[in-house]
Structure formats: structure tokens, C-alpha cells
Amino acid sequence: MAGGKADNSKSKANTKGKEKEVKKETKLGLSAKKDDNFGEWYSEVVVNGEMIEYYDISGCYILRPWTMSIWEVMQAFFDAEIKKMNIKNCYFPLFVSPGVLQREKDHIEGFAPEVAWVTKSGNSDLDVPIAIRPTSETVMYPYYSKWIRGHRDLPLKLNQWCNVVRWEFSNPTPFIRSREFLWQEGHTAFASKTEADAEVLDILELYRRVYEEFLAVPVIKGKKSELEKFAGGLYTTSVEAFIPNSGRGIQGATSHCLGQNFAKMFEINFEDDKGEKAMVWQNSWAYSTRTIGVMVMVHGDDKGLMLPPKVAALQIIVIPVPYKEANTQAILDTCAATVSTLCAAGFRAEADLRDNYSPGWKYSHWEMKGVPLRLEIGPKDLEKKQVRAVRRDNFAKTDIAIDGLGEKVEEMLDDIQQSLFDTAKLKRDACVVVAKTWGEFAEALGQKKLILAPWCDEEEVEKDVKARTKGDMGAAKSLCSPFDQPELPEDTLCFASGKPAKKWTYWGRSY
């Protein structure tokens, strides 16, 4: 194994001695296989792919440039879209005074153990400890109350890109459950429920697009059950993804209609167009760096990350393949020229011209990092004025003429993007089981399926499902009732209670 890069093959659990062993065995590769030990595979892939570095505080991770580029692509898309909706960016403080945090007791109560506090400056205790925001309702809404006076102040539509801290105690996982994470949180206030309802769905559609068009991850849009919704709100919508390897659903992003609950608590009132005092209707919505973890889990394989071209920091890696007597300089020059052409055409391309690594090592390295397309240039290619293209997703090799390279590469990247989505959707759909009885439900759950079941929509019944499925793998819960409802014949009964079913709902274990 050449060079220091191999150090990345260590995972948090490895001791120094064990680390050496792993290196020798696997070279650049992963020691765990996705289908054999999914948890270990995941932590290796985010570290060896250079997305994450473990940190000395549990549940906190370093997001390396390979991660941040992906985040920035999604951010650029989403930020531009919400600006079209006339939503403005702002920034509220990280710190929350205890009075403000507790202003809205009911909503905070269940979450209180997760709130992190600053209690000291230097050696002296603070007079009043200060909380770190776990979400910003209580930080922002007092100012909504101040800023909103009349109907002309509405709608008020703000968003912020920031970090939040939730001191989780259950198994931390990079991106998926971390104690600090990045997100955007949107908080909007309207004069009417109609406007609020419409925005909830507009934002949810943007979340679907982030997942499906950018991350190539299929999601289900739907409504959360009463038990699973944000307790402070009126109703919660979400996009739900599924991880076939763990058999778990995962909430991808949420868009809530808060109704007038927060308006009551924070006295967010206005004089309506008839001169009467009214309360605002509010929404809040967020997606976080969890999106990136879902993408890694869905697309990665035993060779490492597999990045969708639309979000990849690097879409094309160009690798020289020098040969003994061949003109190495001419090959290197062609590589550099190819990169210039591709970058000028708007692609994100780089050449790996390092002379202390072999081409084979470089192939493995960039496969581990998930670069969608590799171009190899050797003496034969030079002669024929062509390059050899190798796709990361299916390893298909094609010789492409240098003349007209841009068009061909664009086609291939589009095809990779589409094919990642199609493959993920086929895999996800193959996990869906329709369960009409408790027996069918329990069997499907045992097989780690995503279960679509007719449900009576009663809270007590969902609690009962949780109780009956409790175990070391975690209980099953409702994920969402899809907006896209299959036909429900009139006499259909609830899978869990036997009462008349009201709707189809997705169930499963979840993250």
C-alpha cells in the first residue's frame, strides 16, 4: 500500500494493531460488506470515502470537503427555489435564555433531556445557564409577535441555514443521528390557513426534488399520524425514504402546518383587513445533513461511495495510464487538456496526475470516493484520439472520441443519475409488502419490509402496534399515509384492530 491515504481505512473501533491487519488484508478496500455488516460498512464507507472524520466527542463528526460540496449543491438549489417563493434568509442567535426556551412548555417538555446548556464562562459559573438551540421556534416567535402588527405585515416568510444541537443518547450515526447537525429551518406566518396549507405542500415538493432529482433517492410524500406528527403543530407532512439493507424507514424531511398553536402561545396577532384582531397561521419546515447519510446508505456498495453526478464534488476523474516506452508527458498533457475542456463545458472534473500512485490504486481510490465517471488515457488512446470511460455504477467501459467528448460525457452522467434513481426505486419497491392482517404484518416486519397496510387511523391502535412489536430491533411505527392512496375497497378492515380501515399507511421500523 503506497502512501498515507491508507490511514483512512481505520474505523473508530480499530486499535492501532488491528488497523495494520485491516490494511494488509484489504488494501484500499472496505473490511465490511454492505450485505453482511451494514452498520460497520456504513461507518467505514463515510470515513474511507473521506466524507467524515470521527471526532473525540461522541455523536459529533467532522464534515470534510467531500461532504460539504454535496451539501452546498443541495443548498444552492433549495435556496434559489425558496427565494422564488419570496422567502427571505435571516440568522437568529445560537443561544437561548431559559425563560424563552420554557415559554412554550408543552412542546419543550418531552425534548428537555436533549437540550445542551452552557453553564460556565472560563472558571466562573454563569448567573443564568444558556441553552443551545435544538430548533428555533422559541427563539424566533417572540420577534414574529413584535414584527407582525397588521395584515400588511403578512405573510412573514423567513428561513435560516444553521447548526442545531440535540444531545441524543441512542446510537449516534454519522449524518443520520448526530448531536450537532446542519439544516435549514423555515418559519412562515400567514393571514389564512389556505395560504399556509398551500405552502406546506410547495415545500414538501422541493424536498421530494432534493431527494429524487439530486440524491437519486426515491421518497414517499405523505402525512404523519397523530402520534408521529410534531406535537406542537396541527399536522405534519414528510418525505419518507427506505433503507433496504437495514429494513428501516427514515424520515427525510418535514413540512409542518402549525395551525394557530404557536400564535396563541407567543401572541402573534394582527389586525385583519376588516380591522379585527386575528391570529396568524404558521408553518415550519426543515431538512438536514441527514439527507447525505440516506444517499450514502442507498447507493454505496462494497467498493465504497457512489455519488449521483448532480451532487458529486467531482463528476469526472481523469487518470493517466502511462506505459514503459510511451510518451508519458504527452499522456499527462492530454489528461490536463481533457480536464480543461470538461471544466470549460461546465463539468466538475480533475486529473489525478500524482506519480507516487499506480493507476490501479487510483482507480480504487476514486471508486471508494464514489466519483461517477472515470476517464483513462493511455498510449493507445492517445494514438486513436480517444479516452476510455468507466462508469462507477456498473463499471461499463466505453471508448469515446476526444472530439465531441463533452456531449458524450453529459449523456453518460445523465444516464448514471437516472440509473441510480431507477435502481434504488426498483430495490425500494421490491421491499414493499401489502399486509391486510396482523399475521401478514408481523411476517413482513420480520423480513424487514416496508409495509403498506389499511388502517383505522386511531392513536390507541398505533400505540398498540408499537407495544406488540417492541423488541431489541425497536418497535414498528407508522411512517406516513401516502398522498398517493391506492384504492381502498369499502369493506376493508384495519390490519391491527379489525375495525373499518380509513386509509392506507406505510409502517415499519425506522431510524
Residue ranges that bind ligand 86X, judged by CB under 6 A: 107-108, 111, 114-115, 134-135, 137, 166, 185, 230, 254, 256, 284-286
30: three-class secondary structure by DSSP:
coil
Q: Which is nearer to ligand 86X, 53 or 228 (CB)?
A: 228
How many other β-carbons are positioned within 10 Å of the β-carbon of residue 358?
Answer: 12
- What lies within 8 Å, CB to CB, of 341 at 6+ separation is 405, 406
User: Between 185 and 199, whose beta carbon lies closer to ligand 86X?
Assistant: 185
Nearer to ligand 86X, 41 or 211 (CB): 211
The b/e string for 389-428 (b: 16+ C-beta within 10 A; e otherwise) is bbbbbeeeeeebebeebeebbbebbeebbeebbebbeeeb
Nearer to ligand 86X among residue 130 and residue 473 (C-beta): 130
> Shortest distance, CB of residue 77 to ligand 86X, whole angstroms?
19
Compute, in degrees rounded to 10, the torsion defined by CA atoms 43, 75, 169, 122. Answer: 110
CB of 279 to ligand 86X, least distance (A): 19
Of the two residues 108 and 280, which places its CB atom closer to ligand 86X in the complex? 108
Residue 96 C-beta: closest distance to ligand 86X, Å: 9
Shortest Cβ distance from residue 448 to ligand 86X (Å)? Answer: 27
Nearer to ligand 86X, 3 or 98 (CB): 98
Q: Which of 311, 249, 320, 284 is nearest to 511 (CA)?
A: 249
Question: With respect to ligand 86X, which residue has the nearer C-beta, 286 or 400?
Answer: 286
Give yes or no for a contact between 183 and 286, defined as CB atoms under 8 angstroms apart. Answer: yes
Q: How far is the CB of 487 from ligand 86X (least distance, A)?
A: 32
State the minimum distance, in angstroms, from the CB of residue 283 to ligand 86X. 9
Bridge pairing between strands 386-391 and 397-401:
antiparallel
The C-alpha atoms of residue 485 and residue 462 are separated, in whole angstroms, by 19
Q: What does 44-68 look like in DSSP terms, one character per residue?
A: HHHHHTTSEEE-SSTT-EEE-HHHH
- Residue 162: CB minimum distance to ligand 86X, A: 11
Question: Which residue, chain included where needed, has cell 447519510?
Answer: 293
User: Angle, to 10 degrees, between the axis of helix 38-48 and the axis of helix 290-299?
Assistant: 110
Instruction: Please name every residue paired with 451 in a beta bridge, in sequence order, or none if there are none.
Output: 433, 507
Minimum Å distance from CB 263 to ligand 86X? 15
185 vs 376, beta carbon nearer ligand 86X: 185
Toward ligand 86X, which CB reaches closer, 252 or 370? 252
Cell numbers for 123: 472558571
Which residues are within 8 A (CB) of 134 and not within 5 positions of it... i.e. 6 or more apart? Answer: 111, 114, 115, 116, 164, 165, 166
Distances (CA, A) of 29 to 166, 250, 284: 34, 28, 42
The 10 Å Cβ neighbour count of residue 445 is: 22
In angstroms, what is the minimal distance from the CB of 154 to ligand 86X?
19
Q: Which is nearer to ligand 86X, 109 or 460 (CB)?
A: 109
Residue type, 196: A
Work out how close the CB of 216 gets to ligand 86X at its nearest, in angstroms, rounded to a whole number: 24
Q: How far apart are CA 469 and CA 461, in angstroms?
A: 12
Q: Which is nearer to ligand 86X, 286 or 319 (CB)?
A: 286
Minimum CB separation from ligand 86X for residue 118, in Å? 15
**Cell matching residue 497:** 384492530
Q: Which residues contact 142 (CB under 8 A, 6 or more apart)?
A: 100, 103, 266
Closest to ligand 86X by CB, 85 or 278: 85
> Could you give the 3-state DSSP secondary structure of residue 432?
strand
We find the least distance from the C-beta atom of residue 114 to ligand 86X, in angstroms, to be 4
Per-position DSSP letters for 247-308, written without gaps between them = TEEEEEEEEEEEETHHHHHHT-EEE-TTS-EEE-EEEEEEEETHHHHHHHHHH-BTTB----
